């Protein structure tokens, strides 16, 4: 499957919302992931789920305060990694 940035955002958001975070309706693709309680274990589980969906492992060293700002920014980081792969 060819992953567009929008499709990736939807997938990342879905994994976070359904499987990893305990969040309400106020959580959107632009919400802060750190404030939503994302921790190191959840991030690694997220990366594993992304790998399962896309076949691409996102190098953890690429994760920064900026890339983890929201589901949208994280999806952009993943999209760039897929483009390079």
Among 8, 12, 15, 38, contact with other proteins (rule: CB under 8 A)? 38
Among 28, 48, 55, 85, contact with other proteins (rule: CB under 8 A)? 48
Number of residues that bind other proteins (CB under 8 A): 22
Contacts 24+ apart (CB under 8 A), 10-14: 11/50, 11/53, 11/75, 12/46, 12/50, 12/71, 12/74, 12/75, 12/78, 13/71, 13/75
Q: Does 19 bind other proteins (CB under 8 A)?
A: yes
| Chain contacts with other proteins (rule: CB under 8 A) | 19-23, 36-45, 48, 60-61, 63-65, 68
């Amino acid at each position: 499957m060819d992953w567009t940035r929008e499709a990736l955002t939807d997938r990342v958001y879905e994994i976070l919302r359904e499987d990893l975070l305990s969040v309400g309706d106020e959580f959107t693709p632009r919400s802060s992931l750190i404030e939503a309680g994302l921790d190191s274990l959840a991030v690694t589980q997220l990366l594993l789920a992304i790998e399962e969906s896309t076949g691409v492992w996102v190098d953890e060293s690429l994760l920064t305060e900026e890339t983890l700002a929201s589901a949208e920014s994280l999806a952009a980081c993943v999209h760039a990694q897929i483009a390079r792969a």
